[in-house]
Amino acid sequence: MAAMRKALPRRLVGLASLRAVSTSSMGTLPKRVKIVEVGPRDGLQNEKNIVSTPVKIKLIDMLSEAGLSVIETTSFVSPKWVPQMGDHTEVLKGIQKFPGINYPVLTPNLKGFEAAVAAGAKEVVIFGAASELFTKKNINCSIEESFQRFDAILKAAQSANISVRGYVSCALGCPYEGKISPAKVAEVTKKFYSMGCYEISLGDTIGVGTPGIMKDMLSAVMQEVPLAALAVHCHDTYGQALANTLMALQMGVSVVDSSVAGLGGCPYAQGASGNLATEDLVYMLEGLGIHTGVNLQKLLEAGNFICQALNRKTSSKVAQATCKL
């Protein structure tokens, strides 16, 4: 029947075999997804305009009320490097800590860790990379040396009963090295897991990844670290974030990082967008029938609030479509 039609596309022959494998590559999606909201930290950190401490606190409180269960609050880094995070202690002390919600903070070194604990932190985050050059440029040491630094933090955290999450940057590509091998990502991830990180977030730092590369990377990592301990952190610099996230979900990952309003730019591509927008992620998950616990309406309100404070338009398409101009 179809063969009688003119101007058919060329792939008629392989269709039967394609159909056999195509649905199998889709996998079963998780029933619940934990969203790690990184807007107040990763998002704000990459925004040009500095927002006041009360605004940061209000944002986090609004996100708590939106039903998010993990909100990355701030970074205990020197304000010399990251002025936006200069008020880390005040923010952590000032937010309402809702029961059942985690408020992790970044701690690049032992000094930051101690300051974080003194300010009331119950969970900290350490930041590594799958690229030697990126590590050198970012924290001025090799990957191996960075492990030694992190080990100090992990040991201290263990004594104080504080959970530690690990980030692996450049998981799908590096601004300095270019392609990153999945084996390297697996190696760094495995190291973090064995050192005591309860969860490792694999970051497409410059947003260059596409679904096939995501799949290859995860396939390698999953052989070394249990799926339940993995998260993905996709940047939308090239518009690929949601498709990459979908691929990760198809492979069984059930923890996804995102940022309200898609906050944050990209330091490597001026004018480019940053994180995956939480609203757009929630929209997809809800459409897929996956439980998130997030109230999209309240989330939109939080996004609207922070965009006004930053004097910028939202990067979330859902927000753009639902706000009345």
Partner 1 sequence: MGNVPSAVKHCLSYQQLLREHLWIGDSVAGALDPAQETSQLSGLPEFVKIVEVGPRDGLQNEKVIVPTDIKIEFVNRLSQTGLSVIEVTSFVSSRWVPQMADHTEVMKGIHQYPGVRYPVLTPNLQGFHHAVAAGATEISVFGAASESFSKKNINCSIEESMGKFEEVVKSARHMNIPARGYVSCALGCPYEGSITPQKVTEVSKRLYGMGCYEISLGDTIGVGTPGSMKRMLESVMKEIPPGALAVHCHDTYGQALANILTALQMGINVVDSAVSGLGGCPYAKGASGNVATEDLIYMLNGLGLNTGVNLYKVMEAGDFICKAVNKTTNSKVAQASFNA
Sole binder of partner 1 in the list 203, 258, 302, 303 (CB under 8 A): 203
Instruction: Convert residues 235-264 into a mask of x (bound to partner 1 by CB under 8 A) and - (unbound).
Output: -xxxxx-xx-xxx----------------x
Candidates 49-57, 65-73, 203-211, 223-231 — which segment interacts with partner 1 by CB under 8 A? Answer: 203-211
The verdict on 206 binding partner 1 (CB under 8 A) reads yes
Binding-site residues for a divalent metal cation, in ranges, read: 42, 233, 235, 275
Any idea which residue has 């730092």 for tokens? Answer: 205
Sequence-ordered strand ranges (E) for 83-229: 105-106, 123-129, 163-169, 199-204
Using alpha carbons only, give the angle 167, 172, 174 rounded to the nearest 5 degrees.
Answer: 85
Site for partner 1 contains 6 (CB under 8 A): yes
Q: Where are the beta strands (DSSP E) in the chain?
A: 34-37, 70-71, 74-75, 105-106, 123-129, 163-169, 199-204, 230-234, 255-258
Considering the complex, state which of residue 58 and residue 70 has its C-beta at the smaller distance from partner 1.
70
CA pair distance 211, 224, nearest whole angstrom: 20
CB 251, CB 27: distance < 8 Å: yes
Closer CB to partner 1, 95 or 129, in the complex: 129
Q: How far is the CB of 208 from partner 1 (least distance, A)?
A: 7
64 near partner 1, judged by CB under 8 A = no
Asked if residue 81 binds partner 1 (CB under 8 A), the reply is yes
Instruction: Kindly tell me which residue out of 12, 50, 118, 228 binds partner 1, with binding defined by CB under 8 A.
Output: 12
Measured distance CA(70)–CA(91) in Å, rounded: 16
Q: Are 37 and 258 in contact (CB under 8 A)?
A: yes
Examine residue 28 and tell whether it contacts partner 1 (CB under 8 A): no
What is the C-alpha to C-alpha distance for residues 35 and 174, in angstroms, rounded to an integer? Answer: 25
At 77, list the tokens.
């880094």
Site for partner 1, residues 279 to 308, rule: CB under 8 A = 280, 283-284, 286-289
Q: Which stretch binds partner 1 (CB under 8 A): 114-122, 152-160, 189-197, 278-286?
A: 278-286
Task: CB nearer to partner 1: give 15 or 50.
Answer: 15
Selection from 188, 53, 62, 171 nearest residue 119 by Cα: 53
Write down the catalytic residue from 170, 197, 266, 307.
266
According to CB under 8 A, which one of 19, 28, 99, 297 is a site residue for partner 1? 19
Supply the minimum distance, in Å, between the C-beta of residue 96 and partner 1: 27
Q: What would the x/- binding string for partner 1 be over residues 82 to 101, using CB under 8 A?
A: x-------------------
- The verdict on 79 binding partner 1 (CB under 8 A) reads no
Binding mask 153-192 for partner 1 (x = CB under 8 A): --------------x-x---xxxxxxx-------------
Distances (CA, A) of 323 to 40, 147, 295, 320: 22, 45, 16, 6
The reply to whether 234 belongs to the active site is no
Binding of partner 1 by 267 (CB under 8 A): yes
For residues 242 and 231, the answer to whether their CB atoms sit within 8 Å is: no
Q: Which residues belong to the annotated binding site?
A: 41-42, 233, 235, 275
Torsion region of 33: left, alpha or beta (phi above 0 gives left; psi -120 to 50 gives alpha): beta
Catalytic residue numbers?
A: 266
